[in-house]
């Protein structure tokens, strides 16, 4: 039952904040429909049915995922009925929305393993007492082939081919696999199965939510859901590319406090404003003041970044953990000169000549070769303090000992075997 005393106009202002659709007409349509649905739900004495889906293709959610979670929390705080949907079935295919090639398909075992900690991570933002957690294999696994044909008959191939990523692949002669069309169809059925009033998502979900979901609901006799599409994505630690586990520029929610603190500190200064906006919910006046202070040098970027790092660690761990992370940061980086190397670093023997990329992967200093290459572009991987630019560089036993550094926190001293 809806319990909020906040007016519909005030709810609208908050719930539509940050939503973008690419054109003002669509935004106005969604705002109008949301108002009508809020009025209808209030008369019926119920909250809106709101959800967002998260595919467990990786075991960690990251800070970028919290943008949609915070929007869910806003609905939750107004008394609406919020579902945190784990895509245990859709993730078997993987969303092609923001990809220029087909995703690798996961096994059910991989999906189940990855999804185990999703709720604990989500409850860092959402109220566990007011959150429904559901898994979409609950309904998708029950569909038979006749059901799929019946659902698919509501769409044309042309509707899918106008999607930007598919159109690019067609123009570039890249393959589009038939199963990739099924993802939007399955996500649309998520909305049907839950009789959703509202679905929240990022820009890469615009087609899935606004076109596929609404169309299928209407075709099956339901009112079409309102799409709340978040307009901005959180850049990763490189400050440019959307935060992504596959790009190696993410900050996982379950990072250790020190690691989370350090990764926030590695974010370029240019991303300070959007991090404050999307992660701390700062309003325009606060952002303007921050920008002005940075511009006239009354605020120092590094000090502001440290405060941001403390706040983020406090949110996902505790204030005490944030203080400890700050203390460790000060000990490592303020007690040494800029280029100093800590004394207490691990040592690893190097038996034979080896590529830097292979060494970094073997020692788990990077999550992938792509992450290593991204770090190299920004001077984030160093050998004896000097940036490494060639990902194919080979380190030989004859050059040892050497110190290999990744970012500002990971060091290893490569030595000859004893």
The better pLDDT of the pair 73, 250 is held by 73
pLDDT digits (tens, 9 = 90+) for 196-237: 999 999 988 899 999 999 999 999 999 999 999 998 889 998
User: Confidence band (pLDDT; 50, 70, 90) for 179?
Assistant: confident
* Cβ pair 193, 218 in contact under 8 A: no
What is the band of 407 on the pLDDT scale with cuts at 50, 70, 90? confident
- Checking if the pLDDT of 338 tops 50, the result is no
Picking from 336, 404, 397, the residue whose alpha carbon sits closest to that of residue 413 is: 404
| Mean pLDDT score of the chain | 86
Does the structure show a pLDDT above 80 at 348? yes
Task: Describe the crossing of helices 257-265 and 301-316 by its angle, rounded to 10 degrees.
Answer: 150
The CB-side HSE value for 356 (13 A sphere, CA atoms) comes to 22
- Our CA dihedral for 30, 32, 38, 39, rounded to 10 degrees, sits at -160
Hunting for tokens 């000090």 — which residue is that? 303
Q: What is the pLDDT of residues 227-263, one digit of tens each?
A: 999 988 899 988 888 898 777 788 998 888 988 998 8
- Across residues 385-406, what is the average pLDDT? 82
In the predicted model, what is the mean pLDDT of residues 298-312?
Answer: 91
pLDDT attached to residue 106: 66
pTM of this structure = 0.74
Specify the pLDDT at position 95: 52
Residue 33's pLDDT is: 97
Domains and CATH numbers, the chain: 8-229 (3.40.50.620), 257-334 (no CATH), 346-415 (3.10.290.10)
The answer to whether the Cα torsion of 258, 263, 268, 272 is positive or negative is: negative
pLDDT band at 288 (very low <50, low <70, confident <90, very high): very high
The least confident of 292-306, 312-326, 391-405 is 391-405
Residues 81-118: tens digit of each pLDDT: 999 999 888 877 655 544 444 445 667 777 777 777 88
């Amino acid at each position: 039952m809806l319990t909020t005393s906040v007016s519909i106009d005030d709810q609208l202002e908050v719930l539509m904040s940050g939503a973008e659709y690419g054109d003002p007409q669509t935004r106005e349509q969604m705002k109008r429909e949301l108002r009508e649905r809020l009025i209808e739900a209030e008369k019926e004495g119920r909250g809106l049915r709101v959800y967002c889906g998260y595919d467990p293709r990786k075991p960690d959610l990251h800070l970028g995922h919290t943008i949609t979670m915070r929007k869910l929390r806003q609905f939750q705080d107004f008394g609406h009925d919020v579902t945190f949907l784990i895509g245990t079935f859709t993730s078997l295919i993987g969303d092609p929305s923001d990809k220029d090639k087909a995703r690798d398909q996961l096994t059910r075992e991989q999906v189940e393993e990855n999804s185990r900690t999703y709720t604990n991570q989500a409850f860092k933002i959402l109220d566990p007492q007011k959150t429904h957690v559901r898994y979409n294999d609950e309904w998708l696994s029950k569909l038979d082939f006749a059901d799929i044909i019946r659902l698919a008959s509501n769409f044309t191939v042309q509707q899918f081919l106008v999607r930007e990523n598919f159109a690019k692949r067609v123009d570039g002669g890249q393959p589009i696999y038939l199963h990739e069309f099924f993802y939007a169809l399955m996500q649309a059925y998520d909305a049907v199965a839950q009789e959703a009033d509202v679905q929240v998502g990022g820009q890469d979900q615009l087609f899935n939510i606004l076109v596929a979901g609404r169309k299928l609901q209407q075709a099956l006799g339901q009112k079409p859901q309102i799409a709340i599409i978040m307009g901005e994505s959180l850049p990763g630690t490189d400050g440019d590319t959307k935060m992504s586990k596959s790009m190696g520029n993410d900050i996982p929610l379950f990072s250790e406090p020190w690691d989370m603190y350090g990764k926030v500190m590695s974010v370029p200064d240019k991303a300070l404003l959007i991090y404050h906006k999307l992660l701390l919910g700062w309003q325009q006046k606060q952002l303007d003041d921050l920008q002005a202070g940075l511009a006239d040098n009354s605020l120092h970027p590094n000090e502001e970044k440290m405060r941001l790092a403390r706040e983020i660690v406090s949110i996902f761990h505790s204030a005490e953990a944030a203080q400890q992370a700050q203390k460790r940061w000060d000990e490592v980086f303020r007690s040494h000169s800029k280029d100093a190397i800590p004394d207490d670093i691990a040592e690893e023997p190097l038996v034979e000549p080896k590529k830097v990329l292979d060494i970094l992967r073997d020692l788990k200093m990077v999550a992938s070769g792509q992450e290593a290459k991204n770090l190299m572009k920004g001077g984030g991987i160093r050998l004896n303090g000097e940036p490494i630019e060639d990902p194919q560089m080979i380190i030989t036993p004859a050059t040892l000992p050497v110190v290999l550094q990744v970012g500002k926190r990971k060091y290893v001293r490569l030595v000859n075997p004893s």
